[in-house]
């Protein structure tokens, strides 16, 4: 029951779902997610912590930067099923398509340059 409730609560926010779609098939630096969602770094950090608690994403720290990705086959069945359901239901949503186009542009920017620019804006 705990896993189910944690997962459904994590999926109950549009920005967290958008972040999951952005991570589909790739690892992203938190700065890239901040740029995509247009939210404050602290807000994105909170969203990612909720997704991590639900085991919908994994994270690793490299120097000052935090990187996120979707879990692999080691994820619990409930997590894999929730992600599959999410991706199948929303893959054609306009917001997801717009994010995909925006993410293409963000990925052209060197992550270190993007992260440095975000730090300077603080």
**Domains in the chain with CATH codes:** 2-121 (1.10.10.10)
| pLDDT given for residue 59 in this prediction | 95
pLDDT at residue 11 greater than cutoff 60: yes
Distance CA 70, CA 33 (A): 13
Distance of alpha carbon 62 from the chain centroid = 17
pLDDT per residue as tens digits for the range 73-83 = 889 999 999 99
Contacts of 92 (CB under 8 A, 6+ apart): none
């Amino acid at each position: 029951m705990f896993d189910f409730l944690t997962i459904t609560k994590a999926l109950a926010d549009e920005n967290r779902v958008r972040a999951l779609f952005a991570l589909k098939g790739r690892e992203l630096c938190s700065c890239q997610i901040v740029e995509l969602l247009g939210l404050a770094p602290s807000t994105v950090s909170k969203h990612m912590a909720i997704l991590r608690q639900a085991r919908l994403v994994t994270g690793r720290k490299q120097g000052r930067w935090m990187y996120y990705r979707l879990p692999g086959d080691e994820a619990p069945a409930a997590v894999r099923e929730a992600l599959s359901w999410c991706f199948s239901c929303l893959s054609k949503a306009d917001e997801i398509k717009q994010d995909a186009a925006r993410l293409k542009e963000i990925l052209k920017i060197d992550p270190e340059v993007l992260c440095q620019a975000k730090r300077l804006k603080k």
